[in-house]
Amino acid sequence: MKMPIINFDDRFADFMSEWVKTNQDKYANFDEMEEDMPRIYMAFLNKRANWLGNVTPGAYFTQFEDPKVLVDWLAQYCEDGVPVPDLLCEQIMTVGRPCEKRLLELLKDEEAPEEARMIAVNLLKEMESTLPKMLYIAWQLNRDGRDDLKDNALEALTEMGECVVQPILQELPKANEAGEEALLEVLSHFPGNEQIFKLAVRLFKERKERRALFAGYLAKLGDDRALPELTAAAEEAKLPYLTFIEIRNAIETLGGTCPERSYEDDPEYEALRDLDLT
């Protein structure tokens, strides 16, 4: 069943236009009106609208509680290129747990609009759902460069807490290089695990062109056993200046002392000095 696709942004713009015509003399300037925006928006939400069959905008979506109807409606908005109403998203969160499975199905649908899937990740995050945990981990295994949807899923995994650590470690051997890096970003928030520490040290040693990134992860993990590797890297010849800075920060975070070295003739150093960033 196709639900009506109504542009609530446009309807609020119309309401706002009428409000300004009627009430502009009550405001000394635009800033005063902007400060009053929450109250104006509440007036919009609570006014019966003929374009909604005489229901108020604030109550419209509360009439629907079927998870399939609500989540499919969200996807339809995205397919039609109409802004998804915040009120629809709020109703999905209000219905709560029954909507989680339907949102997960939307995430698994690779033909669904990316915007709809992105909103689904955000809603599940707001609902503090761990249901998509394994799906989010699977998305990282064969990463290919930057991917906003997968990056958003990474943030969601981090917010799920320690329950993601063992599943990630279990799936990690299947990951490509980009996948390992992405999953280590999540794991770096959970210090005290020997497997995570060893992984971070190994990648720091093996992927020299990415050492700045892995130095940051080692700093987050807070294990000073990483100091010998970090210190040795800080002394390497031809170490790029920006990489040195990240390694130095990690050494100092872990309570060590970074070897001093000069970068006076380094192009990166010169460029940053000109910008006063050294």
- In the chain, where are the structural domains located? 8-203, 204-278
Q: What percent of the chain has pLDDT over 90?
A: 82
What pLDDT does 20 receive? Answer: 83
State how far the Cα of 190 lies from the Cα of 21, in Å rounded to an integer: 56
Residue among 57, 89, 97, 45 at smallest CA distance from 70:
89
Average pLDDT over residues 145-167: 95
What pLDDT does 22 receive? Answer: 87
What pLDDT does 274 receive? Answer: 62
- The SS3 assignment for 47 reads coil
Six token digits for residue 218: 């080692």
pLDDT for 190 beyond 80: yes
Six token digits for residue 111: 């033909």
Q: What is the DSSP letter of 190?
A: S
Q: What is the DSSP letter of 264?
A: T
Please state which CATH class domain 8-203 belongs to: mainly alpha
- The SS3 assignment for 55 reads strand
Identity at 90, one-letter amino acid code = E
- List pLDDT tens digits, range 23-68: 878 877 878 878 888 999 999 999 999 999 999 999 999 999 999 9
State how far the Cα of 193 lies from the Cα of 252, in Å rounded to an integer: 21
- Asked if residues 23 and 14 have their Cβ atoms less than 8 Å apart, the reply is no
State how far the Cα of 269 lies from the Cα of 262, in Å rounded to an integer: 10
What pLDDT does 2 receive? Answer: 86
Long-range contacts of 227-230 (CB under 8 A, 24+ apart): 227/251, 227/254, 227/255, 227/256, 229/201, 229/204, 229/205, 230/204, 230/254, 230/256
277 falls in which pLDDT band (50, 70, 90)? low
